[in-house]
């Protein structure tokens, strides 16, 4: 048996023993997703237990080095872990912008002190992070951000406003793009700061969305004091970190993980859809398959040492457009039932609200149009793009 | 699953790239067309393809082949697609070879495989009888007669049927289907060459009391369904690979044009409306490549669901290649409508290739059925 096969066996056995039954059931609502943090209220004892057990193995961040609280797994091992979790329908133990976004940036740009301070508590789900990127006048044109951080000797004084800050009202800390210089080009003078959301002068206001939910906030900073050591990377050169993080985010956004195929939903419904809908579904499923194959191919290329580069924009663009198509078709299939907004039967309108949520997929993390611009410029090398 | 090329495949790809670009570029197709060539492809090219081992890429070594598998055959097909190379590769080196290899008896294999590999014998596969590919509806009939059978019926869109030395005919034998190998000069076989829109050739063939012996049956009576499974999977994957090559190349032409053509004092590639169309197409072509590689790999691995995967790939390539061709014409403006540019030749070849062995609609339908809806 090869090392990887052995790893698969022991992983399978460990999961069978340690993943609580409750954590193998499909999530019924957004509350079933565990985000951790200082204020997190566990939905069940099993949710807490699952997080603790996985964190103890370092498997909330399987491929991070062990000294930072990760699992130290190779890409192949991490993939096996994911496959074995999928096989028993195990829930993700921890949803975390710390793991998905800040962590990779700290591993790449942070100093050792910052890594040792922040990464382990991210892995344990103790601190919940939010991302302070967009501003009212800096959306697609992110680099024109204006939130100001003034050098006050031993600290920065931050003033300004962010918007579309995911879960800012529930987060403990923020990683934030601020302007430390506005004399040069707009990409220069941006810095990457970390600070506690409990700091004096920070306030948040949730934004009510069409789904009836408020996953995003407006976030305000008024004379917020941030210690100098909370600067990541070089001052004024935070744009490269911002871009790195966006690229990372894009690779992730395109992947919606294991979702129930539409053909199974049809089987569950027990009736044959009208031929025109059937054709759209068949077309969608082939596109989804070809996209999944493309994700695998890109993963293999990355493993073989070819950097993904601007191709992450392709994955982001196509993956999010597909997800919107998926939810349109799910609504078509669900018909009247899918329109229920508040009943227990509909799990509080879960499908309808999820459908509405997907409309943001092609906007957040850089709109589809921005991704197409990036492809035009960096891959097709079209002029003036 | 291997979605990346190994070293051998990379070498083959390089040699195929060089070979077809030099020996069989688009200008060769133009010459064949403009000279009303008697057969519609270059015999000397076919001979050179045999020398390169391309014609025997799927033939086992014991029958003098190079036996490199489907990924390799797909890479050759992709380069032919890129250059719009006209050749009997699909009909003889893929469809006939796969049928003989998997279902022929030893005598049939020894007789035909080395000869196909050497570029001496050509085959054509006669399946379709109506305007759309539909292998489930065969009405050409083989009726027992003496020690053999009599074939009666009609076939259309028989690719390379006008030059094939042997026609492989799918026929109904009672409730089952069988395949017969019929020499082209057999009495009662009437072949009408049909030059198609892509300047390549097929044939309409009628069979009028054509007498065949039991020895002309490929494998056994009733093997028809199995044989069709094998050859259709192979043919569809190879056509998908050809469309990948053709659409990638026509996209490259388009992109080049976007970087050169000026209007309103600007390079037209600066216009975002055009950039976004090109970028979307780029994404589709990346998905198309993944689909083709998956299909070829599934065949090489002998995967249980290879047929379903190949069908999905053929469906995807049919629609992506069409999109690439249509966008190419539109983005080239009036020039895209001229015969001087190659764009129209790609449009026409893709139109034919996507129709062959089932268009996207056919395969979408099959795929939905396969998934239970």
Residue B261, token pair as written in the block: 């053509």
Question: The domain spanning residue A319 has which CATH number?
Answer: 1.20.140.10
Establish if A108 belongs to a structural domain.
no
Same domain, A154 and A67: no
Question: The domain spanning residue A155 has which CATH number?
Answer: 2.40.110.10
Residue entry with tokens 């049939």: B108
Q: Tell which residue, A236, A253, A245, A238, has the closest CA to residue A184.
A: A236
CA distance A42 to chain B (A): 39
Establish if A351 belongs to a structural domain.
yes
Same domain, A200 and A302: no
Q: Tell which residue, A250, A266, A264, A323, has the closest CA to residue A291.
A: A323
**What's the CATH number for B125-222?**
2.40.110.10
Q: How confident is the model at residue A385 (pLDDT cuts 50, 70, 90)?
A: low
Q: Which domain holds residue A50?
A: 3-95
Residue B339, token pair as written in the block: 């015969």
3-class secondary structure, B313: helix
**Contact status, residue A219 vs residue A165, Cβ threshold 8 Å:** yes
**A269 at the B interface (CB within 8 A)?**
no
Instruction: Work out how many CB contacts closer than 8 A connect A with B.
Output: 124
Across the interface, of A273, A301, A375, the residue whose CB is closest to B279 is A375
> What is the CB neighbour count within 10 angstroms for residue A306?
12
Same domain, A19 and A68: yes
Same domain, A61 and A167: no
- Chain A residue numbers with beta carbons less than 8 Å from the beta carbon of B364 are 279, 282-283, 286
B7-120 and B225-370 agree in CATH topology:
no
What pLDDT, on a 0 to 100 scale, did the predictor assign at position A152?
A: 96
Same domain, A76 and A193: no
Establish if A249 belongs to a structural domain.
no
Alpha helices in chain B (DSSP H): 7-23, 26-34, 43-52, 70-83, 97-103, 106-117, 224-260, 272-301, 306-331, 343-355, 360-370
Establish if A349 belongs to a structural domain.
yes
d(CA A221, CA A150) in angstroms, rounded, equals 13
Establish if A341 belongs to a structural domain.
yes
DSSP code for B336: G
Q: In this predicted complex, what is the ipTM?
A: 0.95
Establish if A170 belongs to a structural domain.
yes
CA distance A281 to chain B (A): 8
Sorted by sequence, the CB contacts under 8 Å of residue A174 that are 6+ apart come out as A129, A130, A131, A132, A165, A168, A194, A195, A197, A202, A219
Same domain, A39 and A141: no
Same domain, A88 and A162: no
pTM above 0.95, yes or no: no
Question: The domain spanning residue A91 has which CATH number?
Answer: 1.10.540
Q: What is the pLDDT of residues B127-145, one digit of tens each?
A: 999 999 999 999 999 999 9
B270 with A384: Cβ contact below 8 A: yes
DSSP code for A372: H
A281 with B255: Cβ contact below 8 A: no
Same domain, A138 and A76: no
User: If you measure CA to CA, which chain B residue comes closest to A304?
Assistant: B4
Same domain, A331 and A357: yes
**A283 at the B interface (CB within 8 A)?**
yes
CA distance A366 to chain B (A): 15
Q: Total structural domains in chain A?
A: 3
CA distance B99 to chain A (A): 28
Q: What is the pLDDT of residues B185-237, one digit of tens each?
A: 999 999 999 999 999 999 999 999 999 999 999 999 999 999 999 999 999 99
Segment A267-288 mean pLDDT: 93
CATH ID of B225-370, from 1.10.490.10, 1.20.140.10, 3.30.70.60, 3.40.50.150: 1.20.140.10
CA distance B367 to chain A (A): 7
- Chain B residue numbers with beta carbons less than 8 Å from the beta carbon of A268 are none
**A321 at the B interface (CB within 8 A)?**
no
CATH ID of B7-120, from 3.40.50.2300, 3.40.50.300, 3.10.129.10, 1.10.540.10: 1.10.540.10
Count Cα atoms within 13 angstroms, Cβ side, for B209: 1
Could you tell me the residue ranges of all domains in chain B? 7-120, 125-222, 225-370
Q: What is the pLDDT of residues B282-306, one digit of tens each?
A: 999 999 999 999 999 999 999 999 9
d(CA B81, CA A246) in angstroms, rounded, equals 37
- Chain A residue numbers with beta carbons less than 8 Å from the beta carbon of B278 are 376, 380, 382
Establish if A69 belongs to a structural domain.
yes
- Chain A residue numbers with beta carbons less than 8 Å from the beta carbon of B293 are 293, 297
**A266 at the B interface (CB within 8 A)?**
yes
pLDDT at A239 over 60: yes
Establish if A110 belongs to a structural domain.
no
**A293 at the B interface (CB within 8 A)?**
yes
- Chain A residue numbers with beta carbons less than 8 Å from the beta carbon of B361 are 279
Same domain, A84 and A196: no
Same domain, A169 and A198: yes
Q: What is the pLDDT of residues A94-147, one digit of tens each?
A: 999 999 999 999 999 999 999 999 999 999 999 999 999 999 999 989 999 999
């Amino acid at each position: 048996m090869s090392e990887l096969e052995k790893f698969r066996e022991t992983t399978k056995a460990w999961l069978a023993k340690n993943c609580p039954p409750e954590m193998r059931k499909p999530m019924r609502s957004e509350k079933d997703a565990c985000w951790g943090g200082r204020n997190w209220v566990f939905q069940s004892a099993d949710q807490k237990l699952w997080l603790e057990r996985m964190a103890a193995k370092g498997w909330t961040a399987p491929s991070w080095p062990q000294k930072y609280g990760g699992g130290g797994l190779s890409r192949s091992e991490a993939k096996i872990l994911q496959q074995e979790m999928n096989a028993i329908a195990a829930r993700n133990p921890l949803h975390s912008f710390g793991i998905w976004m800040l962590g990779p940036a700290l591993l790449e740009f942070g100093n050792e002190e910052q890594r040792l301070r922040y990464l382990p508590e991210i892995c344990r789900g103790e601190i919940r992070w939010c991302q302070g990127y967009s501003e009212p006048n800096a959306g697609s044109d992110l680099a024109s951000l204006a939130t100001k951080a003034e050098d006050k000797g031993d600290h920065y004084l931050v003033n300004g406003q962010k918007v579309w800050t995911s879960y800012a009202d529930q987060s403990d800390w923020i990683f934030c793009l601020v302007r430390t210089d506005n004399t040069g080009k707009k990409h220069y003078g941006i810095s990457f700061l970390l600070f506690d959301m409990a700091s004096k002068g920070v306030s948040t206001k949730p934004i009510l969305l069409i789904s009836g939910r408020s996953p995003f906030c407006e976030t305000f900073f008024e004379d917020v004091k941030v210690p100098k050591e909370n600067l990541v990377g070089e001052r004024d050169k935070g744009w490269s970190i911002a871009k790195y993080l966006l690229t990372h985010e894009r690779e992730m956004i395109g992947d919606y993980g294991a979702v129930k195929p539409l053909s199974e939903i049809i089987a569950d419904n027990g009736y044959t859809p009208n031929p025109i809908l059937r054709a759209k579904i068949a077309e969608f499923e082939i596109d989804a398959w070809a996209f999944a194959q493309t994700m695998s191919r890109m993963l293999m290329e990355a493993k073989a040492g070819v950097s993904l580069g601007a191709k992450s924009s392709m994955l982001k663009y196509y993956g999010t457009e597909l997800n919107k198509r998926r939810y349109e078709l799910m609504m078509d299939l669900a018909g009247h039932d899918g329109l229920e907004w508040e009943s227990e039967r509909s799990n509080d309108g879960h499908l309808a609200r999820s459908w509405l949520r997907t409309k943001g997929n092609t906007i957040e993390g850089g709109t589809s149009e921005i991704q197409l611009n990036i492809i035009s410029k960096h891959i097709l090398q079209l002029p003036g793009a | 699953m291997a979605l990346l090329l190994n070293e051998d495949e990379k070498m083959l790809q390089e040699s195929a790239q060089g070979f077809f670009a030099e020996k069989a570029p688009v200008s060769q197709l133009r010459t064949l067309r403009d000279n009303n060539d008697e057969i519609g492809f270059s015999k000397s090219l076919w001979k050179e393809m045999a020398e390169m081992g391309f014609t025997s890429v799927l033939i086992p070594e014991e029958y003098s082949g190079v036996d490199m598998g489907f990924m390799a055959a797909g890479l050759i097909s992709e380069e032919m697609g890129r250059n719009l190379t006209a050749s009997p590769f699909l009909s003889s080196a893929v469809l006939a070879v796969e049928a003989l290899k998997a279902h022929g008896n030893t005598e049939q294999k020894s007789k035909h495989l080395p000869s196909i590999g050497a570029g001496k014998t050509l085959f054509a596969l006669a399946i379709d009888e109506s305007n759309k590919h539909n292998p489930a509806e065969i009405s050409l009939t083989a009726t027992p007669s003496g020690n053999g059978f009599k074939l009666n019926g009609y076939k259309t869109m028989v690719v390379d049927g006008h030059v094939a030395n042997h026609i492989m005919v799918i026929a109904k034998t009672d409730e089952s289907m069988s395949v017969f190998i019929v020499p082209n000069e057999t009495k009662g076989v009437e072949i009408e060459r049909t030059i198609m829109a892509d300047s390549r050739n097929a044939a309409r063939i009628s069979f009028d009391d054509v007498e065949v012996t039991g020895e002309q049956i490929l494998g056994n009576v009733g093997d028809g369904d199995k044989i069709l499974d094998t050859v259709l999977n192979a043919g569809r994957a190879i056509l998908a690979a050809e469309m990948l090559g053709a659409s990638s190349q026509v996209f490259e032409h388009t992109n080049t044009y976007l970087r050169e053509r000026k209007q309103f004092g600007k390079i037209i590639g600066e216009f975002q409306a055009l950039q976004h169309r090109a970028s979307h197409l780029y994404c589709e072509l990346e998905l198309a490549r993944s689909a083709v590689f998956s299909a070829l790999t599934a065949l090489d691995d002998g995967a249980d669901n290879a047929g379903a995967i190949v069908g999905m790939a053929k469906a995807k390539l049919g629609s992506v290649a069409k999109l690439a061709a249509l966008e190419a014409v539109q983005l080239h403006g009036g020039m895209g409508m001229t015969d001087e540019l190659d764009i129209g030749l790609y449009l026409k070849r893709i139109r034919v290739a996507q129709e062959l062995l089932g268009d996207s609609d056919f395969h979408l339908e099959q795929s939905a059925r396969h998934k239970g809806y």
